[in-house]
Amino acid sequence: MTAILFAICALLSPAIRFPAVARFSFVHITDTHVPGAASVPAIRSLVQDVNGRSDRPAFIVNTGDATELGTEEEFTAYRAAVAESNVPVYAVPGNHDVRWSPLGKEAFTRSCGPLYRSFDHNGCHFVLLDSSVVLEHWGHFDGAQLSWLKSDLRKVRPATPIFVFLHHWFGRDKDNVDNADELLKILAPYNVVAAFIGHGHADIQWSVNGIACFMAKGLYQGSRHEITVEDGAATVVRISGGASGKREVVAVLPLVRPSRLVVRTRWLDSGEPLLARRRFCVALDRKATADLSVRWSVGGADMAGSSTVRAGASASPEASIDTTSLAAGWYTLLVRVEDQAGQAFTASEPFAVDRLDAPVRPVWERATASTIQGSPLLHDDTVYVGSFDGSVYAWDAASGRLRWKRPTGGAVFATPYVHGSTLIIASTDHRLYAMDARTGKLKWAYDSGTPLFATAAVSEGVAVVGGNRAIHGVDLQTGRARWSVPTGSFFQSRAAACEGRVVLGGWDNALYCIEAASGKVAWKREMGRTNGGRGRLSFYYSPAIASAAISNGRVYVCTNDGVLHCVRLDTGEDVWEARAPAGGDTFGYSSPLVADGRVFVGGLGDKGRGDCYALDAGTGALIWRASTGADNYDSSPTLAGDLVVIGSVSGRLTWMDPRDGAIVASYSPRPGFSFSTPTGTAALTYSAGMNGRLVAITTPARRTNTAMGGNALRD
């Protein structure tokens, strides 16, 4: 690997003169959460205030969570609330707009316009970005949007002040956007004055790489910003307590960009992964006029250091990372440089550590053209996965050679399903596709009428998939509808098939058991209650994220209130319920795996332990708990040879001994969020992530002794 250079702030440039413009103002609101009790009245009050002013703002920008659940009804109510505004009202998507939306991002675009866009006003450039991830509360910028942003900013003159709007924060501790550094690198050469942000429901401000960032509470909580541009400056006023509330000037930002520090981190070694020590320094393009503090750390490891660039120097002292204490895998070097005024410049750079004696190592890695949010499927000698680029990919499992690639008309969230020689995959273009599993040749496409996120299953010659307000049964041979079962909401989880029946849970608090041949509802169980299984039914706690597992006439599924349910396949009657032990990560989004009389399930990660559990399949009694140290969240345990493996939001994989939960090995692939479940064999384990990559990693060998590992706790 050759030496690496990367910039962590904007390029040095002399101050740029900004031509005088006529005075104007605009309003920043966020997190309106329609139809909350105070939401619509707060919007209407703001609109009335703006309409009645003689110094009317030019426009309003809402930085996300316009609605609570992203339904068409809620977007209709939001659109009606802003319809009387005499100035344009723009919006960017927030997690609430897409996390539970049966239409994905379609409902937002119908009501609020493009997911991302830009426009000019009075010599300033305004960029509205989409950081939302369908079905998730985390943030990510997909490749298509970042490419658009690069192209958009190339058209902007260097002197033009730029204002950026997005929902998820970045540049603070524990960013909830996994590729925010890519955004910062794109913005770095331009005159970005400020970024306006939502999501955190707090009135705070900070600065990163010379960009002033402002967050506001939800509009219904009585908070917003009004920004006035005049006399070469942008004055940011925070308004608290409604239209007649407290007005506080929180910043006066010059539209004339000052010279910005140019800082680069330079690797001083060749960068080969087998190096025991990585050496680097922080170099400046000019001598420092005052002392600068340099702090660095390694993400995923308890490793940090600091140094100082003295006034008159052009580089920091050499620093090093002793990789002998790091397990094989990917890590991130994080650098923060501060001047005496407290201005901070940050960046990150991934690097790999490899070991000849490592129990796991990467074998091959392949990239799709965009994000991967679904899970890979290993079938025979081929690994299949769908991508946001709308395509389904098939790779040779051993070599990583691309066998075929088949486009659909929309982003693919679902996991492929193979039955015989046919691959079934759902797409957000509303269609369920059947392809030849060996060649990718299209057999048929069934139009469901709405976006499809769920993974299908096949039983009795019928492909079954959950859609929006319906479960669809499609003839496997012809692609024609065999039946449709109306439901109360939409589906995102995988269907499970057994004994001529298909079981799947939806966002209407219901677990459905369908006779595959006829579409008859064998039974329907309402579940998912507040207060850990007691109290009234709540949409948020539906059996909708975790997929059901079927074994020995029983169905196992988690509801989002922390309950693992075991019910009879023939009747739907309860057999037992189980909850995570006190102090452990609660059950919820991770799907159960049933094998050898045990149920394996991941915890949510809310306690920060990354717990994975084994329970007795017959009684629900806890057998062991293993702490992976990673936030499992959506990832579910699966078998790779004779080991259980689970992923995590950070992408880290952990292999466990199913006998006692002892941690056998762990490995972190290239950085990026991951919401998928790995798949594998005794030879290789496959994992995918939001960085759009599929990686094949050697599966470690199980211990030959049965001594219990130190990371596993028995009940």
Q: Are 567 and 592 in contact (CB under 8 A)?
A: no
User: Does 484 score more than 50 pLDDT?
Assistant: yes
What's the pLDDT score for residue 14?
41
What's the pLDDT score for residue 578?
96
**Residue located via tokens 């140290």:** 629
Domains of the chain (ranges, CATH numbers): 26-254 (3.60.21.10), 261-353 (2.60.40.3880), 359-379+580-700+711-715 (2.130.10.10)
What residue ranges in 175-328 does DSSP mark as E strands? 192-197, 204-208, 211-215, 223-230, 233-240, 246-254, 263-267, 277-284, 292-299, 304-309, 319-322
The token pair at 331 is 């890590």
Q: CA 694, CA 680: separation in Å to the nearest integer? A: 12
Q: The dihedral of CA 256, 258, 259, 265: what is its sign?
A: negative
- Among 89-103, 155-169, 170-184, 362-376, the range scoring the smallest mean pLDDT is 170-184
Which alpha helices (DSSP H) does 170-235 contain, by range? 180-187
What's the mean per-residue pLDDT of the chain? 91
User: Does 13 score more than 50 pLDDT?
Assistant: no
| 300-330 per-position pLDDT tens digit | 788 899 999 899 998 888 898 999 889 899 9
What's the pLDDT score for residue 534?
65
Q: Are 446 and 472 in contact (CB under 8 A)?
A: yes
Q: Are 31 and 201 in contact (CB under 8 A)?
A: yes
Q: CA 693, CA 12: separation in Å to the nearest integer? A: 34
User: Does 709 score more than 70 pLDDT?
Assistant: no
Confidence of residue 715 (pLDDT cuts 50, 70, 90): very low
| 633-677 per-position pLDDT tens digit | 899 999 999 999 999 999 999 999 999 999 999 999 999 999 999
Q: How much is the average pLDDT of 468-475?
A: 98
| 341: exposed, middle or buried (Cβ count in 10 Å: 0-12, 13-18, 19+) | exposed
CA atoms within 13 A on the CB side of 16: 17
| 64-84 per-position pLDDT tens digit | 999 999 999 999 999 999 999
Pairing of strands 563-568, 574-579: antiparallel
Percent share of the chain, pLDDT over 70 = 93
What would you report as the CA-atom Rg of the chain, rounded to the nearest whole angstrom? 26
What's the pLDDT score for residue 7?
31
Reported pTM: 0.93
What's the pLDDT score for residue 259?
64
Q: What is the 3-state secondary structure (H, E, C) of 614-674?
A: EEECCCCCEEEEEECCCCCCCCCCEEECCEEEECCCCCCEEEECCCCCCEEEEECCCCCCC
- Among 99-113, 216-230, 292-306, the range scoring the smallest mean pLDDT is 292-306
| 341-394 per-position pLDDT tens digit | 888 888 788 899 998 888 999 999 999 999 999 999 999 999 999 999 999 999
| 188-207 per-position pLDDT tens digit | 889 999 999 999 999 999 99
Q: How much is the average pLDDT of 552-576?
A: 96
Q: Are 349 and 332 in contact (CB under 8 A)?
A: yes
Q: How much is the average pLDDT of 536-542?
A: 90
| 105-123 per-position pLDDT tens digit | 999 999 999 999 999 999 9
Percent share of the chain, pLDDT over 90 = 77
User: Does 527 score more than 70 pLDDT?
Assistant: yes
Q: CA 106, CA 236: separation in Å to the nearest integer? A: 33
What's the pLDDT score for residue 682?
97
User: Does 681 score more than 80 pLDDT?
Assistant: yes
Give ∠ CA 193-39-78 in degrees, rounded to 5.
Answer: 80
User: Does 270 score more than 90 pLDDT?
Assistant: no
What's the pLDDT score for residue 8?
30
What's the pLDDT score for residue 12?
33
**629 or 228: which leads in pLDDT:** 228
Confidence of residue 555 (pLDDT cuts 50, 70, 90): very high
The residues, any chain, with a CB within 8 Å of residue 576's CB and separated by 6 or more, are 566, 619, 620
